[in-house]
Structure 1
Amino acid sequence: MSRHYQFSSQAGQWAENFAHAYLCQQGLQPIERNYRCRQGEIDLIMQQQAILVFIEVRYRRHSSYGGSLESIDYHKQQRILRTANHYLYTHSWAQQYPCRFDVVLIQGHLTAPQICWLTDAFRNETFKD
């Protein structure tokens, strides 16, 4: 494993932990972390009152290679939507809740990060509002 990949993996895990703690402080209830299936992965699945929230976490130390939000392009959104569909299909209890897709953007050095929580960042018409 290259040193860059190892740092990226560690930084990514740190960012997910940071986002998880932040969202819990905002009142969201954790359901699952790093849900993986053949279609893809969802970083965090949480519940905010009666809404099931699928959350993508992005960390960038700096924006010289593009910002965090730009990295969640149409193809990444479709992958997240397919993964969420799989989650709902395999977890029948979750089908009773409307769904939302949020993005948590974290930027800056690990010692002084800036966080931005975008609620309802993207949609798919097949999901309940």
Structure 2
Amino acid sequence: MTLPNGRSHRGAMAFHAGLAAEGCVAQDYERRGFRVARQRWRGKRGEIDLIVQDGDGLIFIEVKQSQSFDRAAQRLSAAQMRRIYASAEEFLGTQPLGSLTDVRFDVALVNGHGETQIIENAFGHA
């Protein structure tokens, strides 16, 4: 079934599940004292799910949601990581310190029960 906005019913459900997962992750970071700077920031090179302030630095977060943490983790590809790096580079161009800003790339996994698992510095060093 196609909805008026062009999404299939399954696609619409996945979209809303993704929004809910991102909301849970944003709340988790806020509870730990971080300030959410942007949600779903979109540049010319792609989208970053969450960007949070870490003192003078930034954490770029990719949120992956699936029935299990393992399945969610498997959904992150090398191509997505390259897109996220490129998008982060673009975002840093809007910041006062530019590429000198201290950054980290986290992956937030959300399982089918709404539980979260954060993998800090998940991409390592580029």
User: What TM-score do the two structures reach when normalised by structure 2?
Assistant: 0.86
Structure 1 gaps, min length 5: none
Find the partner of 1:42 among 45, 48, 52: 48
State yes or no: 1:57 paired with 2:63. yes
Q: Give a deviation string over 1:66-102, Cα, whole Å, max 9, x none.
A: 611111111110000000001011x132524211000
Q: CA distance change for structure 1 residues 94 and 70 in 2, over 3 Å: closer, same or farther?
A: farther
Q: Is the 8 A contact 2:64 2:109 kept in 1?
A: yes
Of the three residues 83, 95, 108, the one matched with 2:87 is 83
Superposition TM-score, scaled by structure 1 size: 0.84
Which amino acid in 2 is paired with 1:50? D
Structure 1 ranges of 4+ moved more than 3 A: none
Q: Contact conserved, 1:103 with 1:117, CA < 8 A, in 2?
A: yes
Name the counterpart of 1:74.
78
Equivalent pairs: percent with the same residue? 27
Residue ranges of structure 2 left out of the alignment (5+ in a row) = 1-6
Q: State the Cα RMSD in Å.
A: 1.6
Structure that is richer in strand per residue: 1
- Kindly tell me the number of residue pairs found equivalent between the two proteins: 119
